[in-house]
Amino acid sequence: MFYQQLQQHFLKISHLQHAQAICSWDQASMMPDGGNDARSAAMAELSVLIHQQTTASHLGDWLSAAAQEPLSADEQASLAAMKRRWKQATQLPQDLVQAQSLANSACEHAWREQRNNNDWNGFKPNLKKVVELVREEARIRAADAGLRPYDAMLELYEPGVTSAQLDALFADVKTWLPEFIQRADDIQSQKKVIVPEGPFAIEQQKELGIAAMKLLGFDFTHGRLDVSTHPFCGGVPTDVRITTRYDESDFMKALLGVIHETGHARYEQNLPKAWAGLPVGEARSMGVHESQSLFFEMQLARSPEFTQLLAPLARRIFQREQDPAFTNDNLYCFNTRMKRGYIRVDADELTYPAHVILRYEIERALVEGDIEVDDIPALWNEKMQAYLGLSTERGSDQNNYRNGCMQDIHWPCGAFGYFPSYTLGAMYAAQEFAAAQRSIPQLSEKIAQGDLAPLFNWLQTHIWNQGSLLSTNDLIAAATGEPLNARYFKAHLQRRYLNEA
């Protein structure tokens, strides 16, 4: 009886979260600038209502009582997910939740124009307020859970993962990644790749993106594609909103962004319907979520087999049937070029971990109070030079802030602790793809023929339909036969970029 009451209560909360998600998507993609103050106030009010419902005084008693009821294994997992959500919510006072919602909305909205204008001085005051509140949140959560402040924030995105574990994992990556990057540079310098020349009309790019989404099984009766400053996947499982941004000189940026977000969307659209609206029916962690987007973008879309499907679409839509840049082989080489660059979302999969490690190290120090917002640009430049040999100092070829520490949406909206999910996700994705190859006979041939159903069925069974019934470690072990093992990621990069079996 108490478990059923909890179910009904959390379903009500999910309805409020539904409204919040669509309001957030609209704010980032459709809302006129003049609507921001009123929208921010409305979203802050929604945040307070959700917080009030999630911290209702009777929930603790209901959770304790439900634990004594005869529940199935899945219901016990559902109860555990509710308790975790309740515990996280009760850690924070209502006034902090409201203050964060207002500060994050103001910072994110202003960031869109400030980033375009390279206005670090205008951005700093807003970011300082966000960081001040994040530190307060981290302090409260850390005291309650007996964790370091940054680890308390990590727990929101990657339950069970600590900065000590990440330090060890990333330290290992840094021992071999610089060598891999240099060797890939040497190999590629001896290959001729034809760069597709624009302009590529935005309407044609959109048509290609939608064609790719259809190929990847996106359900357009439960989602749509739009434009925003920073690509993202939002909305709710029954109404998934993904966005991209277009560059008329390079159609691949938008296309791969669409494919990346489609990976997120397919996960959301295929979460277990039986648990819809409940915490246990949500994605397991952001690392698992990123594993799906990177599975689609890196493991699948950049493969030679999938390129055989994308290239004819691109040739037809852009009317480049005779353009040598649009041959299957050339587009594959173009899509797997390793190039040191400033922008994380445009990075190849070999240099991508360097972008993540840089952000992880800075945001950890920021949350822990070891550095201040004013220190970010210099640290960013120092680490970019150390990890990728690039300078973001003013006066260099690239503009310091816009293409440096102001490029991501995560810090403006208060998402500190998220960045490690990207590299964890890349590692999970490589391990998942290796397991799928072992499980599905002649998978490469099937992909090249456009028969993607076996691969999607594997993901549906082992990842999507599991929701949060299992811990991340148990989910990955059940899907692949072992817990996270970074050797699959390293081996994948060796095969694709260093031509090593």
- Residues classed as catalytic: 261
* CA–centroid distance for 475 within its chain: 18
Helix (H) or strand (E) holding 430: helix 420-439
Question: 201 vs 169, 246, 250, CA distance in Å?
Answer: 42, 9, 10
Look at residues 262, 238, 258, 288 and name the one whose alpha carbon lies nearest to residue 470: 288
Q: Identify residue 245 by its one-letter amino acid code.
A: R
Please tell me the number of Cα atoms within 13 Å of 241 on its side-chain side.
19
- Kindly write down the DSSP assignment for every residue of 268-290, as one continuous string: HHTS-GGGTTSGGGS-S-HHHHH
User: Looking at residue 449, what DSSP letter applies?
Assistant: T
Tokens 């036969």, located at residue = 481
Cα–Cα distance measured from residue 246 to residue 257, given in angstroms and rounded to the nearest whole number: 9
Q: Residue 147 and residue 423: Cα distance in Å, rounded?
A: 22
Is residue 385 within 8 A of residue 391, CB to CB? The reply is yes
- Sign (positive/negative) of CA torsion 97, 99, 100, 106? positive
Tracing tokens 């082989």 back to the chain, one arrives at 329
Determine the Cα–Cα distance for residues 299 and 305; give it in Å rounded to an integer: 11
Name, in order, each residue with C-beta under 8 angstroms of 499's C-beta and a sequence gap of 6 or more.
187
For residue 199, cis peptide bond before it (omega within 30 degrees of 0) = yes
